[in-house]
Amino acid sequence: MIFSAGSASAGATSYNGGCGSGFQQIDSVVMNRPSDGAYAGTGYLTYNSSTGENCAVLQVPYSDPAKWVFIGVRRSDGAGVPSWDEGYYTQYAGPATVSAAGACIIWDGFVGTDNEDTSSRAARFHKGPYHCD
């Protein structure tokens, strides 16, 4: 796992509301490229207590060229259907949502040149089991 989190980096964003109304932010991950520490994006995990849904988006600061961006969320017990969004994006990937009231979730993010980028220029995170409510 290549993962760099911590204080907000230059270019870091605020949650864009991409999961819609009723979702409250419960976690975030600032992603930096391992090769040079440059800001790569911020993942946001949100929760809707009325519906029991978790939702994730991954916001990126790219305009041209677009980067390969992936965001995924799933129940850690394997029940239900995992949700993800991936592709070449300039603003954000998502929303990815999963119903997980009373269960833990796992969420993952990736930003790279393509979906097979294993270089130190790619940024990744993996968190979970998490939010076990």
Grouping H, G, I as helix, E, B as strand and the rest as coil, residue 102 is coil
Q: Phi, psi at residue 122, to the nearest 5°?
A: -85, 145
CATH code, domain with 79: 2.60.40
Nearest to 19 by CA among 77, 69, 85, 76: 85
Q: How many CA atoms lie within 13 A of 106 on its CB side?
A: 13
- Looking at the whole model, is its pTM more than 0.85? yes
pLDDT tens-digit readout, 100-123: 988 999 999 999 998 888 888 899
Bridge partner residues of 10 (DSSP): none
Tokens of 70: 């992936």
Residues with Cβ within 8 Å of residue 91, at least 6 apart in sequence: 59, 60
Q: Would 1 be classed as within a structural domain?
A: no
pLDDT tens-digit readout, 40-74: 999 999 999 999 999 999 999 887 788 999 999 99
Q: Would 96 be classed as within a structural domain?
A: yes
Tokens of 36: 């040079």
Range of the domain at 116: 24-130
